[in-house]
Structure 1
């Protein structure tokens, strides 16, 4: 009854004309009840149950939460079948889930097809396949229809010799999980466009993103002072530069090269392999040895020679003068174009 009266008064208030609120000093005549809410315009007298005068302080007992529904038998069975099958070929399914959760949604039939194709048609041994999955778990959830084009691309477009396919895949398993259209082919065209003709010798780069990995490294060399032309020349001379981290490799080694060694950028242009040597185990110790003896070796002699050869050269240079660069003794047995 009380709720009906309150709603009825709200209805009447909404029906008042605007002038009621614009000029409060002017008396207003009462208006007939509004019929905006016809069901509320005529109060009703519903019968309400009589409330007890005693207050019930006993709280209702909460209903227990229903137990989660068990997984369907088919899902549990599929999980067990996958685990048993992968265990039979030497792959730990639980560890695989941690490394590659999408494997849970891969149908067992497709997993078996992929395993059969790679180990039978492609000719990889069980040991090689386990190593491939360990390095790139995505291979196991790739379909055969996605893997076959990779082999075709490597042979026809990247010019990989058929006898070298297994070596190429074992070296870079991620190739098998890479899209030919979206990754392999665009990267191939980019490498060819900057002058790397023999891409078949650098197939590990094909699975790299041009935008996320290759271009940022070229831009870094330009940032530290190399021209665009010289930067590309360094990558043509030593394509493995694309594989090195800017933060963990380029930056600390370049800082040491400039600040501690005081060398010229021209030396890096001629010997970009400098970035392939360990800063702590090779570059620093040998540079410090040269500083102590008061000699300065060209980068190839400083870094490429064996420990015994380096000590011998260092000892000789302490007693004699370093040959001129025009001398046939300069950089003997040290080809700067290979490692």
Structure 2
């Protein structure tokens, strides 16, 4: 049925339907020659919002499967367009939306945009654009259990924090509680992350494919399992960084250009949160030009003005005591 619907849509709409929504003419002005006429009422069920015109004596008593399919699609298109959601773009990314019942779609919209969840319409549109499965996953057997899990088991503190968590990681709404979210929660707790409600963005990550390989990576560098795990416990965001695009280039620069020992990151795993090009390299080069060497936190955590002031104090006046966090030395440069 989805193939038939896609074929129908491709013959009904112009080929440029993948452009942004504002490039389309208003759907209310489109001429749907193949659709029977009917009225549209967004706040009523699909059964009460369809009013077919009087049938001609030549027409069959019941609409054909094709006619019913076209009517359902038309109804969904108008409803989603009334919310500012581009139906045509969305079905290209998530074809199951074609066969989803309009009443089920409306139930999801009502649940997510009214109290207690109460997402604003712009926020809801963003959720759908990043997680179109939200519109087709069963509300009572999927979406509500996900939200209940976040509130009761993860410890998300109220609806405001729930909305914040879902804004940050809409893909949580596409995850199964039993197969994805709960196993990841248990893994984080075993690692020693006792405040998972602050790191809900990690719950959509696969333990086997994403979380464990990152711990294994640091073990391959020579750290013990316990030591590597302690870094992630103190800085859980470390789980969210790419090995190839983050860990490797920053460690190469740390040990190569900067000439530092890899063990420095044990005390400062936040090193990986700073931009290599915009923060790490410029700060290191500024220190190298002055012939000084700061501890990584001093070099990277301060703002630009604070860093420059610290650099000037260290180079142009009496050096600070060795016990000071600003202590620097020329011999390691």
Residue 126, structure 1, aligned to residue 134, structure 2? no
Counterpart selection for 2:101 from 98, 107, 110:
107
Answer yes or no: is the 8 Å Cα contact 2:298–2:325 preserved in 1: no
- Measured against aligned partners, the alpha-carbon deviations of 1:254-287 in whole angstroms (never above 9, x if no partner) come to 1111111111122100000100111111111111
Within 5 Å, which residues of 2 pair with 1:294-333? 294-320=291-317, 322-327=319-324
In structure 2, the residue matched to 1:265 is 262
Aligned partner of 1:24 in structure 2 is none
Q: Return the alpha-carbon distance in structure 2 between the equivalents of residues 258 and 100 of structure 1.
A: 45
Question: Which of the residues 179, 182, 207 maps onto 2:179?
Answer: 182
CA shift, 1:158, in A, is: 0.7
2:148 to 138, 141, 152: 152
Per-residue Cα deviation, 1:51-78 (whole angstroms, up to 9, x for no partner): xxxxxxxxxxxxxxxxxxx981112222
When structure 1 is superposed on structure 2, of 108-117 and 179-188 the one drifting more is: 108-117
Distance apart, 1:330 and its partner CA: 5.5
Which residue is equivalent to 1:137?
A: 132
Change in CA separation of 1:91 and 1:124 when aligned onto 2, cut-off 3 Å: same
Alpha-carbon displacement from aligned partner over 1:218-277 (angstroms, at most 9, x marks no partner): 111111222211110110110001111111111111111111111112210000010011
Structure 2 Cα separation of the partners of residues 196 and 323 of structure 1: 37
Compared with structure 1, are the counterparts of its residues 269 and 76 closer, same or farther at alpha carbon in structure 2 (3 Å cutoff)?
same
Superposition RMSD in Å: 1.8
Whose radius of gyration is greater, 1 or 2?
1
8 Å CA contact 2:251, 2:262 repeated in 1: no
Which of 69, 83, 96 matches 2:90? 96
Q: Residue 72 of structure 1: SS of its match in structure 2?
A: helix
Between the aligned partners of 2:240 and 2:276, the Cα distance in structure 1 is 16
CA distance in 1, matches of 2:204, 2:272: 22
User: Which of 271, 279, 294 in structure 2 is aligned with 1:274?
Assistant: 271
User: So what's the TM-score if we normalise by structure 1?
Assistant: 0.74
| Kept in 1: contact 2:151–2:158 (CA 8 A) | yes
- Partner of 1:265, secondary structure, is coil
Structure 2 length as normaliser, TM-score? 0.75
